Amino acid sequence: MKIKPEEITGVIEEQIKNFDMNVEEKETGKVLQVGDGIARVYGLENVMSGELVKFASGVQGVVLNLEEDNVGVVILGNGSTIKEGDEPFLSLSISSKVAVATFITKSEFDKIDAVSEIIFAPEFS
């Protein structure tokens, strides 16, 4: 079988014509440790305290503890779905209602679905 230059040119031109230039940038980290409703995450260098983070499982969290080499994320939901090595990403939203979560125990939080409307940013719903 012989390949013709016109065929190669046609394929390349088609790929260039259909090339999608949309780029989505997300700052991601890596979960180092999970326990007691807290995830220790490495790599979220531009994170701010109070910022919402979303884990691969769909569970969300709020960054509350900024340390030199990692951040502490309070898990807002079922933490058993978050594993070491997962890659959470920043939402670029600051939760102004984080204080609500501090008054609710984890077991109470897991029972109340309506709280998610108070705490989570619209893009996470």
What is the predicted pLDDT for the residue at 49?
A: 86
Q: How many domains is the chain partitioned into structurally?
A: 1
Write out the two tokens for 29: 């980290």
Query: Is pLDDT of 52 > 80?
Result: yes
- Strand 71-76 relative to strand 60-66, pairing: antiparallel
What per-residue confidence (pLDDT) applies to 121?
44
11 in a domain, yes or no?
A: no
Select from 86, 96, 44, 80 the least CA-distant residue to 65.
44
Note down the domain range covering 119: 23-124
Q: In this structure, what DSSP letter does residue 70 have?
A: -
CA dist list (Å): 107 to 1, 15, 97: 67, 53, 19
Output phi, psi for 108, to 5 deg.
Answer: -70, -40
Greater model confidence, 121 or 50? 50
**Considering just the CA atoms, what is the radius of gyration of the chain in Å?**
21
| CATH number for the domain harbouring residue 109 | 2.40.30.20
Q: Give tens-digit pLDDT for 53-111.
A: 999 898 999 998 899 899 999 998 888 999 999 999 987 666 544 444 444 555 655 65
